[in-house]
Amino acid sequence: MTRPAAVLFVIAVLGAAAAAADIPLAERKSGYEFMARETRAMQDDDSANPATLWVLDAETLWQRKEGSAGKSCADCHGDARTNMRGVAARYPAFNEARGRPIDLEQRVNICRTEQQRATPLAFESKELLALTAYVGQQSRGMPIDIANDAHIRPFLEAGRVMFTERQGQLNLSCAQCHDDNWGQKLAGAAIPQGHPTGYPLYRLEWQTLGSLQRRLRNCLFGMRAVSYPYGASELVDLELYLMWRARGMPVETPAVRP
């Protein structure tokens, strides 16, 4: 965003009435609904969706034996098409050993280090994105169903605070865009509600697959705010809140976005 555009946007936001209420399920809209017909068609057809290339790679990775344990994902989990059904719809999820929520990328790496005795995959690496897209695809069409129990609640609240508090040099919050001004235009593009229904997804701007954390870091950079490192607890808490905020909406992984 150019500086003049950013200033005009801040003025518009400050002049808008604060809504900041939970968007009712009947009014929740995926980013898919804000896209052009051609981009929707790309997502709808697996043969045209560029993310399919990562999913096909993951079918091989799922069967490949790794690490000193010489085990594959399939050795523990069997056929992903049946046994991974619904998993991505529940992540981030509370992990007893860590005493806090973990996201799907972290879950894959815990399996690698503890079960396969292999080196963890780097965030945004082709292999980690492929495996999480593959697992995510098995929940496609299923409703997002994030837990809201005593273990999770403090982290949900931390994510909510991060979503609603003003941050950075532009003094903006996530909620000011995605709750208060969704459907409006920013630099000619529609502002979506910010529901993470399709990650990891193929973004035309990136020309590659990317995780939700990559998108969050992009937003924080645009707000001139602290951009936390991949895997930071702050980002996982925000992921958790965003997924809870999208509860009941269907998983679209791997989605396509502009």
Q: What is the DSSP string of 61-85?
A: HHH--BTTTTB-HHHHH--HHHHTT
Question: Stretch 220-240: mean pLDDT, rounded?
Answer: 96
Q: Residue 166's closest CA among 223, 94, 92?
A: 223
Residue 18's pLDDT band (cuts 50, 70, 90): very low
1: in domain: no
- Number of structural domains, the chain? 2
Asked whether residue 12 is domain-assigned, the answer is no
What CATH number did the domain enclosing 85 receive?
Answer: 1.10.760.10
67 and 171 share one domain: no
State the CB neighbour count (10 A cutoff) for residue 22. Answer: 12
What is the pLDDT of the chain when averaged over all its residues? Answer: 92
Question: Same domain for 235 and 173?
Answer: yes
Looking at per-residue pLDDT, the higher value among 127 and 6 belongs to 127
| Domain containing residue 40 | 30-45+145-257
pLDDT tens-digit readout, 72-86: 999 999 999 999 999
Q: Check whether residue 116 and residue 88 sit in a common domain.
A: yes
Q: Are residues 152 and 245 in the same domain?
A: yes
Average pLDDT for 57-62: 98
**What does the pLDDT read at residue 253?**
98
Residues with a catalytic annotation lie at 219
User: Looking at the structure, do residues 37 and 154 belong to the same domain, yes or no?
Assistant: yes
186 lies in some domain: yes
The amino acid at residue 3 is R
- Considering the domain architecture, whether residues 167 and 253 belong to the same structural domain is answered as yes
Indicate if the pLDDT at residue 13 is higher than 50: no
The residue from 117, 137, 157 where one domain ends is 137
pTM: 0.89
Query: How does residue 25 score in pLDDT terms, banded at 50, 70 and 90?
Result: confident
Q: Where are the alpha helices (DSSP H) in the chain?
A: 3-15, 37-44, 52-63, 73-77, 80-83, 104-111, 126-137, 153-164, 174-178, 212-222, 233-245
What radius of gyration, in Å, describes the C-alpha atoms of the chain? 18
Same domain, 39 and 152: yes
| SS3 at position 244 | helix
